[in-house]
Structure 1
Amino acid sequence: MTIPFPPTAPGAHTVLVANRGEIAVRIIRTLRRLALRAVAVYSDADADARHVRAADTALRVGDYLDADAIVGAALESGATMVHPGYGFLAENAAFARACAAAGLVFVGPPPEAIEAMGDKIRAKRTVADAGVPLLPGFAETPGQPMSDADLTAAADRVGYPLLLKPSAGGGGKGMRLVRRSSELAEAAAAARREARSAFGDATLLAERFVERPRHIEVQILADAHGNVVHLGERECSLQRRHQKIVEESPSPLLTPDRRAAMGRAAVAAARACGYVGAGTVEFIAAPAAGDGYFFLEMNTRLQVEHPVTEAVATIRGERGIDLVEAQLRVALGEALPFTQDDVALTGHAVECRIYAEDPARGFLPTGGRVLLLDEPDSPGVRVDSGIAEGADVTSAYDPMLAKVVVWDTDRAGALRRADAALARYTLLGCGVNTAFLRALLAHPEVVAGNLSTELTERLRPELTARSRRTPEEVLAAAALDRQLGLRPPEATANRFAAADGWRVGEPAWTVWRLHPAGGDAVTVRVRAERGSSDRFRVRVGEGGPVSATAVRSADGRALDVSYGGRTARYARAAAGRDLWLGRGGASWRVREEDRTAPLRRGAAHADGTVRSPMPGTVLAVPVARGAAVRAGETVAVVEAMKMEHSVTAPFDGTVTDLRARPGQSVSMDAVLAVVTQESAPGRGRSVSAATAEEQS
């Protein structure tokens, strides 16, 4: 459904979308529905990206942050409007002014509103004058950092715990939690360094920290004729590293009275800065339903989580609203055709963000080529996605790949529908957080609605404990898949030449050495049942033989396996020695190791290979070839998505091979160095052929 504006076309316009990924694809979808011409822009890395193919035409700009290049591309393409999406240039007042100077309609708020809300200190002063409640706190004067003595005195007046944050920017960067006075000076220095690096502005503000807070935001919509309405709230408390991963609407915390009060406060904040367009006013709420709420910030753009509002917002009895269409129409001067009294919320919506990251390793970014992609498509499910099969997921951009959004008549139904949709979401070739999201949504605290911004991080060890080890049946499936690949085509079958263990008498065992991601190498032995093409005996590690069957689908994209009485269908995708298997929203990468490599029994890290835990850029290499290192000593520092990770030596030894160098781009699991122990553990026997005769 669409927003109930008068059913007239918004005119013959060409709209340049100054963004990439899923939001660019989502905006272009609305442009196509409105019969407006869509222009995409792309960097060299995105020349064949999904948003480029979705648009009517596309121009190379090199850098998505190059405002001059974006404006030049808009003029070259004949565009009359520029939609900045979110992030990048969406909250850049100078870019909005540059668009206006070039005769382009900027689909966003006036530059003055962006400036008023873009600086957290100025924003708080603005909304305070409008009567919006604030947390106790204080702020530095731009360019004049407070001395340690003044900082301590101000903090003592506000009280602890205290949260320090940069005045400019967001995304959790530069934030520091201070619980006592002795921690303040060091935390402030670190926050200033990170703020200066990320935003070019080291100015800090401080606020009283609310223990186990709820993060609730209100969607507002305003036109240039003085009309401002809110479309209800979104609960965004499920976060990691201060970034959201699950959002829902409405919030399970709010009563109708509290919802109305927060809505009025959001409208007052929008009016205070002369806002026009779609925007979001964010609040911190105390965990108890009857306690207070406090202004956090205002995002002067479309939010990542806007689809949950689109799903539940009901105007004059019609559920569903297209906020991008609303932005376009407001930008062209149209008035909102409804009032606050016309707005209601119907049902419940949940959004889950699909990230290229590994929750079991502290949400470190992953990467790789998308070998297989199967996104759910069923009633009540919407997927906003910016990827396609064959796309390369790198550390150059944000690791969010897609969003799975569901709607149902109540919260319990929406959670069930979200779990079912995530179970059907399959992406192979790049590790994603889908299985973690399913476990998170099923946790009793989440089901009960007892949310807080620290809940995800607190539950992570519990929710990832099982995911750190590749299940035995997955290792068996990987070996069976490889076994099926050994057979020659029937038309040219030479059973004596095949390496699948066939013998005139009893079939032999084929020995596979498999290395699952995040674990140690495992030996899996497979022997075909005599006279059968799909029945096998399998031994995983030191376990006993288990009966199994395995059949590949005709297109090779699936593998049906019965192992130990349990039957499952795996999505499959192979690339070189890597085999990816997916099932129920989880995916596993299993690498076939060189069969001539020695088998080491129970010797984790026995070869001393130091690998990159994520795709990224090597920032520093503090060791040299031949250097003696201690266990846990940093061998290299890798950065991805503004996250730094120190890669350490697995044991005491000597750096005998050093491949990492500063500035080098590395893939996930790339070899950075090799550390050799002075006294290496004993080695097991070697396997030098594809098969080995063993007793069952």
Structure 2
Amino acid sequence: MFSTVLVANRGEIAVRVIRTLRSLGVRSVAVFSDADADARHVREADTAVRIGPASAAESYLRPDRLLEAAARTGAEAVHPGYGFLAENAGFAQACADAGLVFIGPPASAISLMGDKIRAKETVQAAGVPVVPGSSGSGLTDDQLASAALEIGMPVLLKPSAGGGGKGMRLTRVESALLEEIAAARREARASFGDDTLLVERWIDRPRHIEIQVLADGHGNVVHLGERECSLQRRHQKIIEEAPSVLLDPQTRAAMGEAAVQAARSCGYRGAGTVEFIVPGNDPSSYFFMEMNTRLQVEHPVTELVTGLDLVEWQLRVAAGEQLPFAQRDITFTGHAIEARICAEDPSRGFLPSGGTVLALHEPQGDAVRTDSGLSEGTEVGSLYDPMLSKVIAHGPDRATALRRLRAALADTVTLGVPTNAGFLRRLLAHPSVVSGDLDTGLVEREADGLVPSGIPDEVYEAAAAVRLAELTPQPGTGWSDPFSVPSGWRMGGRPAPITHWFRVAGLEPVTYEVRDRSSHRVEADRVSVTLDGVVHTFWRAGDWLGRDGDSWHVQDHDPVAASLTGAAHAGADTLAAPMPGTVTVVKVAVGDEVAAGQSLLVVEAMKMEHVISAPHAGTVTELDVTAGSTVAMDQVLAVVTPHEEDER
């Protein structure tokens, strides 16, 4: 076994790898950018090395700086985690050339399986069924469009070099093909540095099932069962489970053998995943999609049902050990389900969010595990992937695992940064999820019904309780002016009602009348209020309140100040940043005439593009950003003044 391993990653996966290294007595080396100088993975590692400024392109994506850090710290091996350079064949080869062991497959296997076009051809030759689609690499936009029409709409556009759903586009109509191809190329280029695309037949209501494989350097390959990954948004997995309720033992064995053959076809070594698309009405008709030549985000569910530590076996295989078990020795116990906690705001269309983690509570124990890179004070920006942590539950059966995970998500608190934890909790209670009737489009179809349409009264009551507590003099502080105390007291009459103006991001300001001050209980990190005989308890930190995985940033609102601030743009429509991020494309200039719905700018955050369009026809009278500008949420980007006849 190695004595020192460099972890070439950040966040929750770096923390998770460091945990296994510590259990094996292996010294860990963390790397960090300027944005991560105080990050949790830096504090938990034995040694940490700065590798550059905040931008990933100048830090985590710099092989030379990673190799230099390994040399300076005496590391013998490099664990790439997932994302960044984990599936970069050049980095794997550079490690080998520097005398380091890359904890992953050979560079040749990464290169082969990283090219989706070559990968499909290779596994097809090994007898693995593949999805019908385009053939050949380097197709032009017109060639891709022609291939799509030949296959038949709808089709799925996919980056050949990519993974994780980045740059994937489902296109249902011919008229949108060229525009979607251009957008897919842009995202692929930004995410992977390669805009080569392929096109595949779209299978309606498909299920996404993947097989975990493990191979050593001695010719042994086994599979560790399947994971159901059909609950997705924008082609990104958000809930994963093992095993899948769809597969019977015969189909499971057949898919497992196909995955083993796919791994053998590329000379694989280490832990990897073979992904299949499966028609929900015919599980036996499964098709190979791609192979992920790295550890998967959802690997904990496999660990919980098999009892194997996949990071440990990555290390042992990389160190030259032989697998001590055969396929017949692999057993599965119970059911495990994972939920990905991401920095995104469901109430604002799941746009990326950010901020400072003001209060944090992450459940652990009692068959629940949280893998996280967070700590209180963590700054969540727009430079890196939005996933913050993963909550995983295990049970003797699926119903128990679901119940435990819902409870764990209700107990998850991340105040200061909006997350999807509450949304995931409600999703796990959806009848189709409970019954196991899943497909990759389920979340998109049901998302609106899983996002609350407004703010419950008890949230405003709790916010008012905090404000009143902050303004009420404490005993022993001396005399105070009774007119300045928010008690509702007034001379010669009944107490006046106490009202507050509040504002929650994305919603219109409201005025709220306090119900019953006697029912308020405000503590350092909690606040409880009673409405209609029901006690509601929230976590609190500053202007933030949290409950059952949901959180609200409830701020004071001054209608007079707001009206004065907005006066500068009277008679015009301002376009504001929907999320913190970077302006990547500016398509207009001041003075340009624009049509309603015309694309004006593109803002990117956490590898996600958002197009800013004109709300109506008019003239661009103000443009406050250029390509490359970093913007905050709700920052004014441009102003489009309607034509005079439109105003009338």
Taking structure 2 as the reference length, what is the TM-score of the superposition? 0.90
Q: Is the 8 A contact 1:374 1:424 kept in 2?
A: yes
Q: Displacement, 1:361?
A: 2.8
Q: Is the 8 A contact 2:488 2:498 kept in 1?
A: no
Aligned to 1:433: 420
CA RMSD of aligned residues (A): 2.8
Which of 417, 425, 431 is residue 444 of structure 1 equivalent to?
Answer: 431
Pair 1:379 & 2:344 matched? no
Aligned to 2:224: 231
Aligned to 1:517: 505
Distance 2:498 2:529 in 1: 18
Deviates more, 1:434-443 or 1:619-628: 619-628
Give the 3 Å change call, closer, same or farther, for CA 163–655 of structure 1 in structure 2. Answer: closer
Give the 3 Å change call, closer, same or farther, for CA 665–311 of structure 1 in structure 2. Answer: same
Letter of the 1:170 partner, please give it. G
Give the 3 Å change call, closer, same or farther, for CA 654–134 of structure 1 in structure 2. Answer: closer
Aligned to 1:593: 557
Q: Displacement, 1:164?
A: 2.8
Distance 1:204 1:504 in 2: 72
Pair 1:328 & 2:315 matched? yes
Q: Displacement, 1:626?
A: 9.0
Q: Displacement, 1:156?
A: 5.8
Pair 1:551 & 2:544 matched? no
Distance 2:227 2:595 in 1: 49
Pair 1:641 & 2:606 matched? yes
Distance 1:151 1:551 in 2: 62
Distance 2:137 2:365 in 1: 53
Q: Is the 8 A contact 2:32 2:42 kept in 1?
A: yes
Unaligned 5+ runs, structure 2 = 53-58
Report Cα offsets for 1:612-659 as digits up to 9, x if no partner. Answer: 221112345667789998876767542212333244677899988765
Distance 1:620 1:136 in 2: 34
Q: Displacement, 1:35?
A: 1.1
Which of 259, 263, 268 is residue 256 of structure 2 equivalent to?
Answer: 263
Q: Displacement, 1:410?
A: 0.6
Pair 1:615 & 2:583 matched? no
Aligned to 2:486: 500
Distance 1:243 1:616 in 2: 20
Taking structure 1 as the reference length, what is the TM-score of the superposition? 0.84
Which of 115, 120, 132 is residue 116 of structure 2 equivalent to?
Answer: 120
The DSSP-based 3-state class of the residue aligned with 1:237 is strand
Structure number with the higher helix fraction is 2
Distance 1:55 1:469 in 2: 43
Query: What does 1:258-337 align with in structure 2 at a 5 Å threshold?
Result: 258-313=251-306, 320-337=307-324
Which of 28, 42, 46 is residue 52 of structure 1 equivalent to?
Answer: 42
Aligned to 1:14: 4
Report Cα offsets for 1:206-231 as digits up to 9, x if no partner. Answer: 32221111110000001011111000
Distance 2:320 2:476 in 1: 70
Q: Displacement, 1:549?
A: 1.4
Distance 1:672 1:136 in 2: 43
Unaligned 5+ runs, structure 1 = 1-9, 314-319, 528-534, 537-547, 680-696
Distance 1:289 1:628 in 2: 53
Which of 488, 491, 509 is residue 476 of structure 2 equivalent to?
Answer: 491
Give the 3 Å change call, closer, same or farther, for CA 197–487 of structure 1 in structure 2. Answer: closer
Q: Displacement, 1:662?
A: 4.3
Letter of the 2:21 partner, please give it. L
Which of 160, 170, 179 is residue 163 of structure 2 equivalent to?
Answer: 170
Report Cα offsets for 1:403-458 as digits up to 9, x if no partner. Answer: 00000011111111110000000110011001110111111111111111111111
Aligned to 1:581: 545
Which of 91, 94, 109 is residue 90 of structure 2 equivalent to?
Answer: 94
Letter of the 2:201 partner, please give it. R
Distance 1:606 1:427 in 2: 37
Distance 1:298 1:390 in 2: 37
Distance 2:353 2:462 in 1: 23
Aligned to 1:670: 635
Which of 539, 549, 558 is residue 571 of structure 1 equivalent to?
Answer: 539
Deviates more, 1:87-96 or 1:388-397: 87-96
Pair 1:43 & 2:43 matched? no
Aligned to 1:5: none
Give the 3 Å change call, closer, same or farther, for CA 312–610 of structure 1 in structure 2. Answer: same
Q: Displacement, 1:346?
A: 0.9
Report Cα offsets for 1:321-366 as digits up to 9, x if no partner. Answer: 1000001011010001111000121100000000010223332101
Q: Displacement, 1:167?
A: 1.7
Q: Displacement, 1:666?
A: 2.2
Pair 1:24 & 2:9 matched? no
Give the 3 Å change call, closer, same or farther, for CA 623–140 of structure 1 in structure 2. Answer: closer
The DSSP-based 3-state class of the residue aligned with 1:485 is helix
Aligned to 1:530: none
Give the 3 Å change call, closer, same or farther, for CA 490–624 of structure 1 in structure 2. Answer: farther
- Percent identity, aligned pairs only, is 58
Pair 1:562 & 2:530 matched? yes
Q: Is the 8 A contact 2:141 2:181 kept in 1?
A: no
Q: Is the 8 A contact 1:468 1:518 kept in 2?
A: no
Q: Is the 8 A contact 1:16 1:40 kept in 2?
A: yes
Q: Displacement, 1:103?
A: 1.4
Distance 2:41 2:552 in 1: 28
